[in-house]
Amino acid sequence: MTGVARGLDEVTRAPSVVTIGNFDGVHRGHQVLLRRTVDAALSRGVRSVAITFDPHPAAVLRPGNGPRTLASLEERIDLLQAAGIDLVVVLPFTRELSQLTPEGFVERVLVERLQAVRVVVGTNFRFGHRAAGDVVALLEAGESHGYDVEAVAVRDLDDAPISSSAIRAALEDGQVAWATRALGRPYRLDGEVVRGDGRGRSIGVPTANLAVPADRVVPANGVYVGHAEVGDRRWRCVTNVGVRPTFDAGELVTVETHLLDVDDPDLYGERLTVTFEHRLRGERRFDSVDELVTQIRRDVAAARELRDAR
C-alpha cells in the first residue's frame, strides 16, 4: 500500500528507511537510490519513505531563477510510487524550512516524524541552512540518533553524470535520445489541447496544439517522433516545437503534434501527453507553404520508417 503525505503533520510516526531528494524526473540515478531504499526497508520489515520538496528549493531561494521541471509534482509522486516506495512525503519548501540547521532538519524530519533507521542518499547530498550539511554530517547525526547511512555514488552515462540538470540541458539542446537513456524512459510533456490558428488543417496536416505549463522543460526547437496519448488511446506522432518561421508567427514557442493515421482528431479540451523519442531535424524557415508541406510529408514518412523498424 502506497501513500502520500503533504507535509510532516500528515506523517504517522513509524520506523522508516528514508531517501531524500528533489527527484525531478526520477531519473536512473534516482532509481538506484529508490531501489536501495525499498530493499533496505523490506529486509528490516519497515516502511520505505521518499522525501521530496515542492516547490523546487531554488525557486524559493532564488525567486524567478528556479529551474524548469522535468515532471509535475503529481507525475513525480506517481513515479516514486511506481518504484515501490511505501510513503512519499512532500515537504513544502519554505523560507522557514530553508533556515533549519542540518541538526534541526535531522531531528525534526528524520527522527521525530519518520523514526529513521537508515537513510539512503547520493554522495553529493547536501542539506540544512546554506547547504551546510553533507554525508559526513548525516553520518555523525546518525550515530547520535540511531540510524545508519548509505551513500550511493552518482551514476554516469557516456562519461557524464546523470543528474536532473544534465537532462534539462540535453533536452534544451535537442538531445532527446540521451535524455531517454538517462531517464530510463522517453521524456513526456502533457497539457490541455487548445485551439490554434488552424494552419495545420488548412494545409492538410491537422495538429493538436498542446498548452504546456510555463515551468516545464521544452525540448529545443525542432521536429520529433514519439507517441501521443489521451486516456487509453495511443498514436504514433510527429511533434513540432518552435515558432513556425515560415508563417512569421512571432517568438512564441508552440508544441504542435500530428497524429499518424488519424484524419482530423477532435481533441480540444482533452489532456494530451506527448513523448519525445527521436529528433528528426531542427526547425527551419521554408520559402513557401508548398515546400513546408513537402518536408512535413518527408517527416511523416521518416516517422513511419522508425516505427516499422522497431
154's CB contacts (< 8 A; 6+ apart) are 29, 122, 123, 124, 161, 162, 163
Q: 192, 205, 187, 273: which is closest to 233 by C-alpha?
A: 273
The string of pLDDT tens digits covering residues 7-28 is: 999 999 999 999 999 999 999 9
pLDDT for the residue 218: 97
Of residues 253 and 171, more confidently modeled: 171
Residue 100 has pLDDT above 70, yes or no: yes
Residue 250 has pLDDT above 70, yes or no: no
Q: 147, 80, 82: which is closest to 112 by C-alpha?
A: 147
Can you say whether the dihedral through the CA atoms of 70, 71, 72, 77 is positive or negative?
negative
CATH of region 3-160: 3.40.50.620
Helices (H), 53-109: 57-61, 73-82, 95-98, 102-105
The string of pLDDT tens digits covering residues 115-132 is: 999 999 999 999 999 999
Please state, in angstroms and rounded to a whole number, the distance separating the CA atoms of residues 176 and 279.
Answer: 7
pLDDT for the residue 196: 75
pLDDT for the residue 144: 95
Of residues 45 and 200, more confidently modeled: 45
Residue 309 has pLDDT above 70, yes or no: no
Element (H, E) at 292: helix 289-308
Question: Considering the chain, what percentage of its residues have pLDDT values greater than 70?
Answer: 95
Residue 226 has pLDDT above 70, yes or no: yes
Highest mean pLDDT among 27-36, 56-65, 244-253 belongs to 27-36
- What does the DSSP 8-state code read for residue 110? I
Instruction: Identify the active-site residue in 96, 192, 256, 270.
Output: 256
Average pLDDT over residues 243-266: 79
pLDDT for the residue 310: 57
CB-based contact 52:76 (threshold 8 Å): yes
CB-based contact 39:68 (threshold 8 Å): no
Q: What confidence tier does 290 reach under pLDDT thresholds 50, 70, 90?
A: confident
State the CATH architecture for 186-308: Beta Barrel (2.40)
The string of pLDDT tens digits covering residues 30-48 is: 999 999 999 999 999 999 9
pLDDT for the residue 200: 67
The string of pLDDT tens digits covering residues 165-194 is: 999 999 999 999 999 999 999 999 999 999
Look at the block and give the residue holding cell 547525526: 141
- The domain locations on the chain are 3-160, 186-308
**Cβ-based neighbour number of residue 224 at 10 Å:** 27
Please state, in angstroms and rounded to a whole number, the distance separating the CA atoms of residues 278 and 292.
Answer: 20
pLDDT for the residue 160: 87
pLDDT for the residue 64: 80
Average pLDDT over residues 275-303: 91
Angle of helix 176-183 relative to helix 28-44, nearest 10 degrees? 10
**Identical topology for domains 3-160 and 186-308:** no
Of 137-141, 154-158, 241-245, 267-271, the one with minimum mean pLDDT is 241-245
CA end-to-end distance (rounded Å), the chain = 36
The verdict on whether 256 is a catalytic residue reads: yes
CA distances from 233 to 225, 229, 262, 305 (A): 17, 6, 12, 22
Please state, in angstroms and rounded to a whole number, the distance separating the CA atoms of residues 70 and 63.
Answer: 19
Please state, in angstroms and rounded to a whole number, the distance separating the CA atoms of residues 235 and 226.
Answer: 9
Strands (E), 206-302: 208-211, 222-230, 233-242, 254-259, 271-276, 278-282
**pTM given for the model:** 0.92
Decide: helix, strand or coil at residue 79: helix
Please state, in angstroms and rounded to a whole number, the distance separating the CA atoms of residues 14 and 2.
Answer: 15
Residue type, 12: T
Q: What confidence tier does 68 reach under pLDDT thresholds 50, 70, 90?
A: very high
